[in-house]
Amino acid sequence: MTPVPSHRRGWFAEPVAAKVPEITFLFWVIKILTTAGGEATSDYLALDLGSRFVAGCIEAGILVIGLVWQFRTRRYKAAAYWFLAYAIAIFGTGVSDALHLFVGIPYAGTTALWAIVLALVFWLWYRSEHTLSIHSIFTTRREIYYWCVVFATFALGTALGDFTATAAHLGYLASGIMFGVVILIPAVLWRGFGLNAVVAFWFAYVVTRPLGASFADYVSKPHSLSGINFGDGPTALIATILVAVLVGYLAVARNDIQPPVNQAQPARSTTVRDGVAGRERA
């Protein structure tokens, strides 16, 4: 009997192309909207439904759906990718908040904890694959590392945004403005000073979370918490609609699909595309 090819084994087949989008301006817009929507949606489920247990079950259910959908696809699909990103934004917020509210870890502690988790996942990913490039996500193992990093960045960003807004007493608006300035740093360093493109990308990616979440909290939270009291539900709804419209556009336009690369030589092809030619796979 002819053996089944390795890329067909298992319930989740190996990808046949890159599983994440090309980085465009619209990518960053949608990413920030998902962070804002995830923050507001998680807070709405936890606070307005009246049961954090029920809210946690709903968030976990959405996450499972997103994981199955994304990992069952064999190439990048905008709807599947962004559904999972949104699900992680919601679930990551809930987990980070739970550590503070129920375990009693202060925001400084949860920020440090998730920073360590993120660094550990990056270390394991690089040790295993010798690259952290998003242009190399065409194996299931790399995709798992990628989504673990995404989860850690969402949880870290939630904790960091809450720390600056409440523990550091900046308030949500000032925190949002501060992170809006911080997110420009990797872009400036990359364009003007030759910062490694992979480092610049992940630097900016981490900052999108507290940026979006801070502005979402500013819009949704009551005046007593330095917000404008628009409400978690309406904020979540508007963010979700905007994300759905933009993702629908991407699904039709398909201008965020990465061009094919030579998967037989992933390190060389990805490093060249990331602007760091010369760093070969060890």
Q: Are 28 and 88 in contact (CB under 8 A)?
A: no
Confidence check: pLDDT of 255 > 80: yes
Checking if the pLDDT of 5 tops 70, the result is no
Four-residue CA torsion sign, 242, 114, 84, 137: positive
Closest by CA to 167, choosing from 99, 111, 218, is: 111
Question: For residues 227 and 131, what is the distance between their CA atoms, to the nearest angstrom?
Answer: 41
Residue scoring higher pLDDT (136 or 9): 136
The string of DSSP codes covering 198-259 is: HHHHHHHHHHHHHHHHHHHHHHHS-GGGTS----HHHHHHHHHHHHHHHHHHHHHH-TTPPP
Residue 90 backbone zone (phi > 0: left; psi -120 to 50: alpha; other: beta): alpha
Strand, helix or coil at 262?
Answer: coil
Task: Say if residues 269 and 262 touch (Cβ distance below 8 Å).
Answer: yes
CA distance 223 to 197: 40
How many CB atoms sit inside 10 A of residue 187's CB? 14
For residues 80 and 57, what is the distance between their CA atoms, to the nearest angstrom?
Answer: 21
Contacts of residue 40, defined as CB under 8 A and 6 or more positions apart, other chains included, come to 216, 217, 219, 220, 232, 233, 235, 236, 239
Q: Residue 114 pLDDT more than 60? A: yes
Cα–Cα distance list, 238 to 115, 212, 241 (Å)? 30, 13, 5
For all residues of the chain together, what is the average pLDDT? 86
- At what angle are helices 232-253 and 78-101 packed, to 10 degrees? 150
% the chain with pLDDT above 70 = 88
What pLDDT, on a 0 to 100 scale, did the predictor assign at position 271?
Answer: 40
pLDDT at 238: 97
Q: Which helix (H) or strand (E) holds 120?
A: helix 107-129
Task: For the chain, report the end-to-end CA distance as a whole number of angstroms.
Answer: 37
Tell me what percent of the residues of the chain surpass a pLDDT of 90: 66
What was the pLDDT predicted at 97? 85
Taking only the tens place, the pLDDT of each residue in 179-211 is: 999 999 999 999 999 999 999 999 999 999 899
- For the record, the structure tokens of 72 come out as 């069952």
Domain edges within the chain: 21-273
Helix axes 78-101, 140-162, angle to 10 degrees: 40
What are the distances in angstroms from CA 237 to CA 44, 88, 190, 233, 241? 10, 17, 35, 6, 6
Specify the pLDDT at position 106.
92
CA distance 211 to 179: 5
Question: What is the tens place of the pLDDT at every residue in 31-79?
Answer: 999 999 999 999 999 887 777 788 889 999 999 999 999 999 989 999 9
Which strand (E) or helix (H) includes residue 21?
A: none
